[in-house]
């Protein structure tokens, strides 16, 4: 479900990608509608960098992000599988395997970007 990023979303994205100066996707020209896809596809240079960026999330921000995933607001479909695995590993570590399984189910059930 596409959304307009809230101020909190923008703060999280800019915290994870301080070089983010523009909230428009260079490829499509449209505004970012989620946090994880642009982080994975436009700012992180590899999985290790993606992990380093995600580790900057506070527990509160990670829980907020999971709430967006759970209610369908945060799209996961454009996150490449190897980057998604990094996110799932982080969720497992910080919030447990049940939360990670829920994220994985959401990712699998919404495959198109």
Q: Is residue 34 a contact partner of residue 74, using CB atoms and an 8 Å limit? A: yes
CA-wise closest residue to 86 among 35, 50, 45, 39: 50
Residue 104 lies in a domain: yes
Q: How far apart are CA 23 and CA 103, in angstroms?
A: 25
Q: What pLDDT does 98 receive? A: 96
In a domain, 2, yes or no: no
Q: Find the mean pLDDT for residues 9-17.
A: 90
Q: What is the mean pLDDT of residues 87-112?
A: 90
Q: 47: domain range?
A: 7-109
Q: Is residue 20 part of a domain?
A: yes
Domain count, the chain: 1
Residue 46 falls within a domain, yes or no?
Answer: yes
Residue 75 lies in a domain: yes
Q: Mean pLDDT lowest for which of 29-38, 43-52, 85-94?
A: 29-38
Could you tell me if residue 1 is inside a domain? no
Look at residues 42, 62, 61, 58 and name the one whose alpha carbon lies nearest to residue 50.
42
Looking at residue 1, what is its pLDDT?
44
* pLDDT higher than threshold 70 for residue 23: no
The per-residue pLDDT for 33 is 81
77 falls within a domain: yes
The whole-number average pLDDT for the span 49-76 is 93
């Amino acid at each position: 479900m596409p959304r307009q990023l809230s101020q909190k979303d923008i703060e999280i994205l800019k915290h994870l990608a301080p070089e983010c100066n523009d909230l428009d996707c260079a490829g499509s020209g449209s505004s970012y509608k989620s946090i994880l896809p642009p982080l994975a596809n436009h700012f992180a240079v590899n999985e290790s960098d993606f992990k380093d960026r995600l580790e900057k999330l506070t527990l509160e921000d990670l829980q907020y992000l999971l709430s967006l995933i759970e209610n369908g607001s945060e799209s996961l479909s454009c996150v490449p599988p190897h980057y998604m695995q990094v996110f799932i590993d982080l969720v497992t570590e910080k919030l447990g395997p049940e939360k990670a399984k829920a994220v994985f189910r959401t990712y699998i059930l919404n495959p198109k970007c």
